[in-house]
């Protein structure tokens, strides 16, 4: 179990997401842990892991603290309430089934969110290449706050996290993209990581008090995940974060289908279709926006003395097989 937690921690360190979305289904599907117990223990472990990436982004100045405050105004009480709602649904097999279904739906949304996020990043790179992207921000990001929509996003995200442990990173960041399109990728990730700290802490406290928290289960998660996050953060500057995110989306889809009790033949068929169709659709999207179909080819073209692409600042190299700048892949 500690080894599995270490693997999840590495993914979190590389991509800045996937903690609850990976760890909880791993506990449920591989180790046979009851869903509510898995959610409770994973949230407590996440409350220890989350501050790592937050400190990095606070130092870089890529965190909008007023936006964090608005999100937390909704998410912190909602996360605690989500724990109480999960307990109010019933005991025994009934509540475990409800939590399992909610977790499966949350994973589907998270997988879709990763896909949307990758496409939006591709659009951002196209704007940078064409010289139409907004100037790089100096200091802390400045945006016009949207009070009630932001609080509502925090409330809904907190409720989902409190019930399923999924969404503090992968779900809320998608809503932030829609509400604040002016924020750059690093700013979105930094703001999202910082708001997730009190959110996850609130949900963790709720599960310790009213959930099905198990210290015997949580300790191996901490033993594996903390060094895993550190290692992933160290590797994030040299490994292709885009490839890791695409693999993560595939794993989330597979986990969601199993949690929703989709039959094995149908699951295999859907995953097979995804493996065939997703790369083709992604290559078409790249071609549509003026990039070579394969990232390797683009990397080779820009590396043969051609200099940096128009609109891209020097030093913002793109990883081989990745669609994201190196400086934004290290989100933890």
**Cα-Cα end-to-end distance for the chain:** 23
Region of residue 263 (left: phi > 0; alpha: psi -120 to 50; beta: else)? beta
Residue range(s) defining the domain that contains residue 260: 2-329
- How many domains are there within the chain? 1
Q: What is the pLDDT of residue 310?
A: 41
What distance in Å separates the CA atoms of residue 75 and residue 100, rounded to the nearest whole number? 22
Taking residue 222's Cβ as centre, other Cβ atoms within 10 Å add up to 17
Q: What is the pLDDT of residue 1?
A: 83
- CB–CB of 62/189 below 8 Å? yes
67: helix, strand or coil: helix
Three-state secondary structure of 139-178: CCCCCCCCHHHHHHHHHHHHHHHHHHCCCCCCCHHHHHHH
Q: What is the pLDDT of residue 33?
A: 87
Region of residue 315 (left: phi > 0; alpha: psi -120 to 50; beta: else)? left
Give whole-number Cα distances, 185 to 120, 132, 136, 251, 306, in Å. Answer: 9, 16, 11, 23, 26
Cβ-Cβ contacts under 8 Å for 142 (sequence gap 6 or more): none
- Taking only the tens place, the pLDDT of each residue in 223-251 is 888 888 778 766 655 666 667 677 778 87
Q: Angle, nearest 10°, between helix axes 19-29 and 35-60?
A: 160
- CB–CB of 288/275 below 8 Å? no
In 3D, which of 77, 34, 81 has the Cα closest to residue 259?
34
Mean pLDDT in order along the chain per 10 residues (332 residues): 83 65 80 84 81 73 87 94 80 71 81 81 83 57 80 90 73 78 72 86 88 83 83 65 72 81 87 92 91 64 41 42 41 37
- CB–CB of 9/226 below 8 Å? yes
Q: What is the pLDDT of residue 114?
A: 78
């Amino acid at each position: 179990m500690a080894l599995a937690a270490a693997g999840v921690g590495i993914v979190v360190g590389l991509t800045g997401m996937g903690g609850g979305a990976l760890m909880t289904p791993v506990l449920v599907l591989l180790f046979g842990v009851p869903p509510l117990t898995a959610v409770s223990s994973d949230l407590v472990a996440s409350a220890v892991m989350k501050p790592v990436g937050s400190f990095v982004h606070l130092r870089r100045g890529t965190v909008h603290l007023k936006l964090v405050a608005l999100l937390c105004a909704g998410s912190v009480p909602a996360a605690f309430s989500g724990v109480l709602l999960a307990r109010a649904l019933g005991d025994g097999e009934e509540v475990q089934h409800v939590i399992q279904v909610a977790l499966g739906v949350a994973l589907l949304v998270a997988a879709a969110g990763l896909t949307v996020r990758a496409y939006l990043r591709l659009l951002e790179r196209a704007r940078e290449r064409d010289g139409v992207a907004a100037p790089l921000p100096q200091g802390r990001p400045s945006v016009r706050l949207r009070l009630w929509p932001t609080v509502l996003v925090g409330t809904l995200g907190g409720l989902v996290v409190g019930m399923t442990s999924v969404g503090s990173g992968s779900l809320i960041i998608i809503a932030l993209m829609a509400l604040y399109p002016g924020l750059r990728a690093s700013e979105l990730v930094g703001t999202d990581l910082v708001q997730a700290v009190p959110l996850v802490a609130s949900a963790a406290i709720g599960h310790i008090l009213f959930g099905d928290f198990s210290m015997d289960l949580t300790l191996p998660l901490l033993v594996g995940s903390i060094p895993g996050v550190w290692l992933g953060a160290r590797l994030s500057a040299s490994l292709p974060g885009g490839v890791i995110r695409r693999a993560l989306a595939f794993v989330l889809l597979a986990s969601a289908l199993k949690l929703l009790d989709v039959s094995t033949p149908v699951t295999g068929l859907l995953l097979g279709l995804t493996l065939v169709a997703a790369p083709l659709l992604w290559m078409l999207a790249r071609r549509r926006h003026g990039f070579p179909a394969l990232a390797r080819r683009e990397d080779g073209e820009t590396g043969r003395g051609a200099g940096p692409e128009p609109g891209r600042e020097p030093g913002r190299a793109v990883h081989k097989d990745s669609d994201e700048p190196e400086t934004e892949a290290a989100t933890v």
